Structure 1
């Protein structure tokens, strides 16, 4: 099996590392920063091939033609509208059109996100109908999904909750790390549906083997977990003694970074696990 993974982020690193045991893996990246250099070195040790390419500005036909599975993990959770639209709409649109033209036998897997629905959430019967995107992130993710559907490729769209893993370096986890390093664990009580990056990798391999015509689903663990647990896990890993300090949700909402505040609407939501 030949896997093409677009994007070199923390999820892609977990996925590529896992899939390297089951076939040939190629990972693309636009540029390297200190964090991505760590990812790149870890993957090279696993025999993963890395290719520098901008999927929007350069030709990716050759890479797509040679793959059995095209896995789009390019995405942004924060930034201005142009940044989010480029990553969450334009990239999946081009990738899907390239797959449809150059390699229609391939399976495309796309990592999307939650689209605004809260409470007890099940996938909508008609794709992207009845969902309630309100943030730019949610709207662009929904547009990206529609573009893949309209391209007519064999595709599986995953909508994960909060993804965690050993390579995690997103703002949410950096914030948690800073608190844990100081021995401070805020007892906020927020409940989030989450999933490990390793589980995402296993799901991706499974759907590639299934070769669906078109499917979309939420990818989370069955029960949400208190966000406090992530702070505690980091403190233990750092061997730091910590103090748990209760913080009212209203206060947390006022002072948390904007990228984290946008997730608070999903507090307590449960996603279909059938």
Structure 2
């Protein structure tokens, strides 16, 4: 397949592009004007998600699928217009469009474990994202095999939110737990998630939601301790009051990090040939890519 990836130079996008390329697919990277990051030999096309007109020429008849892994703009109308532009030339072709959402649209899951069929209850940082998910799923009625992937908190390759935990532990000389040590995060290794994107783009039925989660509920206390060890910090973990975290990280993001969730991907595993093989979040952070990244920096 010839696959256009929006956000191919990002943390997740680069892993997805690498996986698809290794499987023999031809990757075409949509990048912003002036983007200078290496594309590993992929064809480059130019487009800006805030300028829908710039996206239309990128989706040519030779494109078999479009995967959007770009960071949302933060504006509902802008993101909706970008989705419309990216999919306009896919209508009536049975070609594939995959949109990247996230588990934060499910909100807190204190009453149990959320799955692919659970109702959304988004926190403010992703407040309009369910509307975009609905827009994507409705594209099935226009002859597009549209799908939504909701990743958990991504770890691996020394990046993502866990790298923030390592940086915070180093900066504060102690592992930090934001607001509440009883919080849990759904986790997924980036390489397993890239495998899921490949499975979805190759095999998805239309109008489907998939959860990219390998560990439904990992203790944030344990993650913070692992981050401290990766940073070479031996102090006991301590609570970082939410007001202080908000002041440093921004209120919406700090509140997201304080969100307690348990999220299942059982239906995703049952319906797709997805077989995650990556390390657990704790082992990866404590002894794997985050420790390696720290040693590389030093």
Give the structure-2-normalised TM-score.
Answer: 0.71
Where do 1:251-270 residues align within 5 Å? Answer: 252-256=241-245, 257=249, 258-264=251-257, 266-270=259-263
Task: Decide whether the 8 Å contact of 1:73 with 1:111 is kept in 2.
Answer: yes
User: Are positions 1:54 and 2:43 aligned together?
Assistant: no
Verify: 1:163 aligned to 2:158, yes or no.
no
Partner of 2:280: none
Question: Residue by residue, what CA displacement relative to the aligned partner does 1:230-259 show, whole Å, maximum 9, x if unpaired?
Answer: 445555555x24322332xxx532222324
List aligned pairs for 1:106-145, cutoff 5 A. 106-114=95-103, 115-119=105-109, 120-124=113-117, 130-135=119-124, 137-139=126-128, 141-145=129-133
Residue in 2 that maps onto 1:69:
65
Q: Residues 148, 98 of structure 1: CA spacing in aligned structure 2 closer, same or farther, 3 A cutoff?
A: farther
Whether the 8 Å contact between 1:74 and 1:91 is mirrored in structure 2 is: no
Structure 2: tracts of 5 or more residues without a match:
268-298
Distance 1:264 1:237, change over 3 A: closer
**Structure 2 SS opposite 1:121:** coil
Number of residue equivalences: 248
CA contact (8 A) 1:70 1:108 kept: yes
Q: Conserved in 2, the CA contact under 8 Å of 1:123 and 1:217?
A: yes
Identify which of 233, 237, 242 aligns with 2:234. 242
Give the aligned partner of residue 4 of structure 1.
4
> Do the aligned partners of 2:15 and 2:194 also contact (CA within 8 Å) in 1?
yes
Distance 1:18 1:151, change over 3 A: same
Aligned equivalents of 2:145, 2:135: Cα separation in 1: 13
Q: Name which of 100, 119, 135 aligns with 1:147.
A: 135
* Corresponding residue of 1:179: 168
Matches within 5 A, 1:199-218: 199-218=192-211
8 Å CA contact retained: 1:194, 1:225? yes
CA RMSD of the aligned region, Å?
2.8
**Distance (whole Å) between structure 1 residues aligned to residue 254 and residue 58 of structure 2:** 41
Question: How far off its partner does 1:228 sit?
Answer: 4.1
The secondary structure found in structure 2 opposite 1:193 is strand
Aligned match of 1:24: 26
Which of 173-182 and 16-25 deviates more? 173-182
Tell me the TM-score normalized by structure 1: 0.77
8 Å contact 1:75–1:84 — kept in the other structure?
A: no
Distance 1:90 1:266 in 2: 29
